[in-house]
């Protein structure tokens, strides 16, 4: 048996199958093996019968639990406390950089509190970082741990035998060796070895992917030796679909097969998503640039200013380089796209997973329920030596195709569907009464039984037959209508008309004989099946198996002897339907009114002596064609009546072809994925023949597979050979392969990678660990892998993949928790929709970053000019934040609403190693192209405003400190020598609070507001040093409250008669006006930048402006905010701006026009280059000069 403990297991051990050997032992030997593993903690039983009656004692169970070391429950993984997660979101690299800048601002204010700029800046930075962290934490806080789904998989209580008594105990208290009883509808409480059973079946689909319930028994009929295939083992967490069983526990909790998979899922590391890596790369790049420039400016400025002012300049450089709104922009953009995907039935659990879909290069898709509808459907039938298409719905029959019209009046087809319903253990659920046939759920039976019920329920001729002659209907039980809609279950009514009076004589389906049989009274079978009230043997099973038990075939109401031609024709039909991926099931009957070959009995449906018996073909005492199997066909040609039937042979009615049909949108989605350069790989647990047929139908396989390429197995739906013994994949041409699980098991990693290099690949009969291996191999080759899955067995692969896609309808909670996204419609097409959205978000993030970064140059260049040329600072740090977190924020986010460009899904998947989110070409575009134009626009607007107020460009170099109010010599702490009123004097006392001003008119000092000039003023302000040439007011005061630079030309506005004249000759006020104009210039050129960033390739004429109304709103809001910063008094006070003359909005507009024309020309050259390359037949990937150096 398996090791009792799993502590310390390595990843390599986890990826191997659980080692169990109890299934290969007799029950008593198996329980002795468990006793030995549990250190002989319970008494050795004398016989298995004695042990199953008494079970363990309570003391023995406690002793076993001490040896095992854990309860019967799955160990949850360690979780990170919420407060640590919150701190992590507050301390990212970007965040730490801005936190440091905020702290330095507070330190600067503490060292020099003469101005509040540093205090405001520190507060704003702290609030921005905190809110961004809170927002990102909130978005991620909803993600639950993988193990949460497993909690629901432990039944709270279970029936067990302890101390010789049947009792109900907590499931978590079970130990290896406990005897348990399992009933229909319960979940298996542990891994159990079956000893006694009654028609016991388990649904292992969540564990193995097998769609049908698996029959379990006391003996192991499987010869592969694999525990998962053993028929005498039932596994923890699987559902009991039918019957009951009694057995002993072999493994509990973490040691079970389910626990093994749980450990593999939670122990599988989930790597960072591609977008997370890209953002981290961008943050490191920008942060390094910001720190290097900030430190450089700080060191250089120390030669001019004191530490505090130098620190402020360094912080300004950092703030100018760091796009503070980027993380908020990315988060909002991802959230928006996630909501758009939710409309398309794709639930995104982790925001960054949105973009990962767009990076996908390989999709490993399950078949059942993802590529197909997960609904077995009868699609064709073979009756009267003809193949017909069978409608699957009431609407299909009503449309009246040629095949449908033929079948509705065909007596042989009537017999066929009647037997398919009567020899069937399925039934409709009462809750679905009144629903369309295709939407009804069934209970009991298997997927094939459900398909037959839905087929028959939709046939109009059945409705007519059951509703004719109302009096007769009432004598036979009547029509059971519901009180509201009058809808009935027609197949249930058919069973009332044609009852099966001997259910105990049935032969249930078993993989050993591959058919089931019942004794039924056919009301009107037609063509030899007639005779109301006559007992018939009805048989349904694998087409070839049933056919081999028949000597005649029902053709148009007449029983015809099967000859070589009919036999060859039958084989041909089976092969054709099998190649189409259809599972073929045959139907046969025999009327019990003649001598019986295998037992007594009378005619006319009388009972055999001792009653009818069933159970197995050997035990049945009615004809099943068993003796006929060893004989040759009778009647080479012609017809044979019932009296001439040989031995116990049956009459073959026909066969039905069943299929889980592909979803309608899947083929087009596969084509779209291929055109986007994405490899689509099918990974399924189904048979190779079925897998290959579906793969061809949906376009995963596009070429012929060749002989034997689609795996073994007969066309009748048998399992057959699953592969060659050499372990090499069957190659279907140079670029195609179909590989089965047994082949994969012995295949080395390098050969698996060679298989994955092929264009078209299908993996069939795969196990969970093999699916995980496929995913890891694809990832090791550089693929970005998306994986679909619905069962617990898929959890490790979902976790390990770059993007795990769980099924929302059929998926288990574990699969949903392990996945990154949930496909609410279970539809493969939703993945392709997600890929397009993922590519779009990457495209739009590039555009948003290009837009955001372009304003960095006009934000950085003022500080460069300030340090290099002592140029007045044209943009303050506070105004930089107004751009980054104000005017630019909504426009940057609005690009997330941008529609895809026409070539989005025709591009190959991006190479994560070369095509980064931020490349040097994007930096070149934003910094060296658009950014330079914007910097020139800002500088030009700044100079125009200062010139209009009296200071031309020639007066600006080396004058930065002269524009400051109360200019100081920072080194000596004296009033700046350039100040005409107090220059060179100590900056002590309360001179800054005096606020006394004088005016210089005509070269003479003039008293301000009639106040007498003090001797100090007259001594400090020597009119001979002023040099003004015209008779205008030039305000000065002690210490120069408006700055010390002398105007050298006349102000263009009247200081007294114009509302815009206040800044005239007042350098500090004029500087604020110029800085405001510089802010306005950035907004104006960002109008053009936003428009050109709408597309990377197309002209704005093609894309249009109306396609993105949010972008239009962004243009409006940034303009509105800019107006508020300019003209609202409280904004002027808070951000140190000034109302500017309307004419000062225009200097930057020519630059905006130039940016638009330049980028349209660049894109035009790009498109022209691509067209020429296509015409000249240039190899894919060849690019022209413009694309090589400007296409970001």
**Among candidate residues 66, 61, 23, the one with its CA nearest the CA of residue 42:** 61
Compute the distance between CA of residue 16 and CA of residue 264 in angstroms, rounded to an integer: 10
**Among candidate residues 283, 284, 289, 290, the one with its CA nearest the CA of residue 316:** 290
Compute the distance between CA of residue 556 and CA of residue 415 in angstroms, rounded to an integer: 11
Tell me the torsion sign for CA atoms 1082, 1085, 1090, 1094: negative
| In the block, residue with structure tokens 């409309």 | 343
Compute the distance between CA of residue 702 and CA of residue 673 in angstroms, rounded to an integer: 14
Tell me the backbone φ, ψ of residue 374, rounded to 5 degrees.
55, 40
Compute the distance between CA of residue 591 and CA of residue 949 in angstroms, rounded to an integer: 114
What element of type H or E holds 681? Answer: strand 679-683
Compute the distance between CA of residue 861 and CA of residue 873 in angstroms, rounded to an integer: 9
In SS3 terms, 467-488 reads as HCCHHHHHHCCCCCCCCCCCCC
Question: What tokens were used for 913?
Answer: 């190693």
Tell me the backbone φ, ψ of residue 784, rounded to 5 degrees.
-95, 110
What element of type H or E holds 85? Answer: helix 82-90
Tell me the backbone φ, ψ of residue 1133, rounded to 5 degrees.
-70, -45
Strand 679-683 versus strand 760-764 pairing type: parallel
Tell me the torsion sign for CA atoms 760, 765, 771, 773: negative
Burial tier of 826 (Cβ tally within 10 Å: 0-12, 13-18, 19+) = buried
Compute the distance between CA of residue 1076 and CA of residue 1138 in angstroms, rounded to an integer: 6
Catalytic residue among 178, 203, 254, 366: 366
Compute the distance between CA of residue 700 and CA of residue 763 in angstroms, rounded to an integer: 12
Confirm if 799 and 143 have CB atoms less than 8 A apart.
no
Question: What tokens were used for 678?
Answer: 């994405």
Alpha-carbon distances, residue 240 vs 170, 234, 1109, 1166 (angstroms): 18, 9, 55, 63
Compute the distance between CA of residue 659 and CA of residue 380 in angstroms, rounded to an integer: 9
Question: What tokens were used for 1142?
Answer: 């309307």
Active site residue 1017: no
Compute the distance between CA of residue 154 and CA of residue 170 in angstroms, rounded to an integer: 10
Compute the distance between CA of residue 1084 and CA of residue 1087 in angstroms, rounded to an integer: 5
How many residues in total does the chain contain? 1192
| DSSP label at residue 1098 | S
Strands (E) in 1009-1059, as ranges, are: 1035-1037
Our measurement of the distance from residue 1152's CA atom to the centroid of its chain's CA atoms, rounded to an integer in Å, reads: 41
Helix (H, G, I), strand (E, B) or coil at 1140: coil
Tell me the torsion sign for CA atoms 1130, 1134, 1139, 1144: negative
Confirm if 222 and 181 have CB atoms less than 8 A apart.
no
Give the gyration radius of the chain's Cα atoms: 42
Confirm if 1118 and 1083 have CB atoms less than 8 A apart.
yes
Q: Name 680's bridge partners.
A: 363
The catalytic residues are 366
């Amino acid at each position: 048996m398996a090791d009792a403990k799993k502590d310390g297991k390595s990843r390599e051990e986890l990826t191997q199958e659980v080692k169990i050997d109890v299934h290969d032992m007799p029950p008593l030997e198996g329980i002795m093996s468990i006793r030995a593993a549990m250190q002989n903690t319970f008494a050795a039983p004398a016989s298995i019968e004695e042990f199953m009656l008494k079970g363990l004692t309570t003391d023995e169970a406690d002793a076993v639990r001490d040896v095992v070391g854990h309860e019967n429950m799955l160990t949850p993984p360690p979780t990170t406390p919420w407060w640590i997660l919150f701190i992590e979101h507050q301390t990212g690299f970007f965040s730490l950089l801005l936190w440091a800048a905020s702290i330095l601002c507070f330190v600067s204010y503490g060292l020099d509190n003469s101005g509040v700029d540093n205090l405001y800046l520190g507060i704003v930075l702290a609030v921005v970082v905190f809110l961004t962290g809170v927002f990102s934490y909130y978005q991620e806080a909803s993600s639950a741990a993988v193990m949460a789904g497993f909690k629901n998989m432990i039944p709270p209580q279970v029936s067990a035998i302890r101390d010789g008594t049947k009792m109900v105990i907590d499931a978590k208290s079970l130990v290896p060796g406990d005897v348990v009883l399992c009933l229909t509808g319960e979940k298996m409480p542990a891994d159990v070895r079956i000893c006694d059973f009654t028609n016991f079946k388990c649904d292992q689909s969540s564990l193995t992917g097998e769609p049908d319930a698996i029959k379990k028994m006391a003996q192991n009929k499987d010869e592969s030796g694999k525990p998962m295939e053993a028929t005498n083992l039932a596994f923890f967490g699987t559902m009991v679909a039918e019957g009951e069983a009694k057995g002993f526990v072999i493994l509990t909790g973490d040691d079970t097969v389910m626990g093994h998979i749980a450990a593999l899922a939670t122990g599988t590391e989930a790597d960072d998503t591609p977008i997370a890596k890209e953002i981290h790369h961008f943050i490191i790049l920008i942060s390094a640039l910001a720190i290097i420039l900030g430190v450089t400016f700080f060191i250089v400025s120390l030669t001019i200013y004191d530490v505090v002012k130098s620190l402020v300049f360094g912080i300004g450089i950092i703030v100018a380089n760091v796009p503070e709104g980027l993380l908020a922009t990315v988060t909002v953009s991802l959230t928006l796209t996630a909501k758009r995907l939710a409309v398309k039935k794709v639930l995104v659990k982790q925001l960054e997973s949105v973009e990962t879909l767009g990076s996908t290069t390989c999709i490993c898709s399950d078949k059942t329920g993802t590529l197909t509808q997960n609904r077995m459907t009868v699609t064709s039938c073979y009756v009267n030596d003809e193949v017909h298409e069978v409608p699957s719905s009431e609407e299909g029959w009503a449309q009246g195709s040629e095949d449908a019209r033929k079948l509705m009046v065909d007596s042989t087809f009537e017999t066929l569907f009647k037997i398919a319903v009567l020899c069937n253990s399925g039934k409709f659920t009462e809750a679905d009464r009144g629903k369309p046939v295709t939407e009804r759920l069934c209970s009991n039976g298997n997927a094939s039984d459900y398909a037959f019920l839905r087929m028959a329920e939709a046939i109009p001729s059945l409705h007519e037959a059951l509703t004719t002659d109302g009096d007769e209907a009432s004598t036979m039980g009547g029509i059971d209508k519901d009180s509201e809609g009058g809808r009935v279950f027609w197949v249930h009514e058919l069973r009332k008309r044609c009852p099966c009076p001997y259910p105990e004589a049935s032969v249930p389906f078993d993989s050993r004989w591959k058919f089931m049989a019942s004794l039924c009274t056919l009301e009107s079978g037609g063509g030899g099946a007639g005779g109301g009230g006559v007992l018939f043997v009805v048989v349904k099973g694998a087409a070839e198996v049933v056919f081999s038990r028949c000597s005649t075939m029902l053709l148009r109401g007449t029983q015809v002897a099967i000859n070589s031609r009919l036999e060859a024709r039958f084989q041909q039909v089976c092969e054709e339907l099998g190649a189409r991926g259809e599972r073929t099931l045959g139907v046969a009957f025999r009327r019990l009114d003649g001598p019986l070959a295998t037992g007594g009995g009378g005619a006319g449906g009388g009972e055999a002596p001792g009653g009818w018996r069933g159970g197995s073909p050997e035990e049945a005492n009615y004809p099943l064609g068993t003796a006929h199997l060893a004989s040759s066909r009778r009647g080479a040609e012609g017809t044979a009546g019932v009296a001439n039937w040989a031995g116990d042979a049956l009459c073959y009615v026909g066969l039905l072809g069943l299929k889980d049909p592909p979803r309608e949108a899947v083929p087009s989605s596969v084509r779209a994925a291929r055109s986007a350069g994405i490899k689509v790989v099918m990974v399924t647990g189904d048979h190779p023949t079925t897998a290959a047929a579906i793969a061809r139908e949906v376009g995963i396989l596009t070429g012929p597979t060749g002989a034997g390429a689609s795996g073994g197995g007969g066309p009748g739906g048998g399992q057959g050979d699953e592969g060659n013994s050499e372990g090499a994949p069957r190659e279907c041409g140079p670029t195609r392969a179909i590989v089965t699980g047994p082949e994969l098991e012995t295949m080395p990693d390098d050969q698996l990678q060679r298989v994955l290099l092929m264009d078209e690949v299908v993996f069939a009969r795969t196990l969970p660990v093999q699916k995980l291996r496929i995913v890891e191999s694809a990832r090791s080759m550089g693929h970005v892998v998306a994986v679909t899955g619905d069962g617990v067995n898929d959890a490790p692969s979902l976790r390990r993949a770059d993007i795990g896609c769980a099924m929302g309808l059929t998926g288990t909670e574990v699969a949903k928790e392990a996945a990154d996204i949930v496909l609410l419609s279970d539809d493969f097409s939703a993945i392709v929709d997600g890929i397009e959205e993922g590519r779009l978000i990457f495209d739009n993030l590039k555009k948003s970053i290009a837009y955001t970064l372009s304003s960095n140059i006009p934000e950085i260049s003022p500080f460069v000019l300030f340090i290099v040329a002592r140029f007045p600072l044209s943009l303050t740090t506070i105004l930089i934040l107004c751009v980054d977190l104000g005017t630019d924020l909504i426009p940057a986010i609005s690009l997330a609403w941008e529609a895809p460009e026409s070539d989005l899904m025709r591009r190959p998947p991006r190479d994560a190693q070369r095509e980064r989110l931020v490349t040097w070409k994007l930096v070149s575009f934003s910094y060296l192209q658009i950014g330079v134009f914007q910097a020139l626009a800002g500088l030009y607007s700044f100079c125009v405003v200062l010139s209009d107020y009296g200071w031309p460009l020639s007066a600006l170099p080396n004058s930065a400190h002269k524009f400051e109010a109360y200019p100081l010599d920072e080194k000596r702490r004296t009033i700046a020598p350039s100040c005409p009123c107090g220059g060179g004097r100590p900056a002590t006392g309360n001179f800054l609070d005096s606020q006394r001003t004088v005016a210089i008119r005509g070269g003479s000092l003039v008293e301000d507001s009639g106040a007498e000039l003090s001797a100090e003023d007259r001594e400090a302000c020597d009119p001979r040093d002023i040099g003004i040439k015209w008779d205008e007011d030039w305000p000065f005061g002690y210490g120069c409250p408006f700055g010390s630079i002398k105007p050298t030309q006349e102000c263009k506005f009247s200081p007294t008669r114009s509302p815009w004249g206040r800044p005239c000759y007042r350098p500090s006020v004029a500087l604020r006006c110029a800085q405001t104009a510089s802010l306005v210039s950035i907004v104006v050129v960002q109008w053009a930048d936003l428009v050109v960033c709408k597309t990377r390739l197309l002209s704005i004429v093609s894309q249009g402006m109306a396609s993105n109304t949010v972008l239009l709103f962004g243009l409006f809001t940034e303009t509105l905010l800019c107006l508020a910063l300019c003209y609202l008094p409280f904004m002027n006070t808070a951000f140190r701006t000034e109302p500017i003359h309307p004419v000062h909005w225009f200097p930057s507009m020519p630059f905006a026009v130039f940016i638009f024309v330049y980028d349209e020309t660049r894109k035009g050259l790009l498109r022209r280059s691509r067209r020429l390359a296509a015409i000249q037949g240039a190899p894919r990937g060849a690019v022209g000069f413009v694309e090589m150096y400007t296409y970001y």
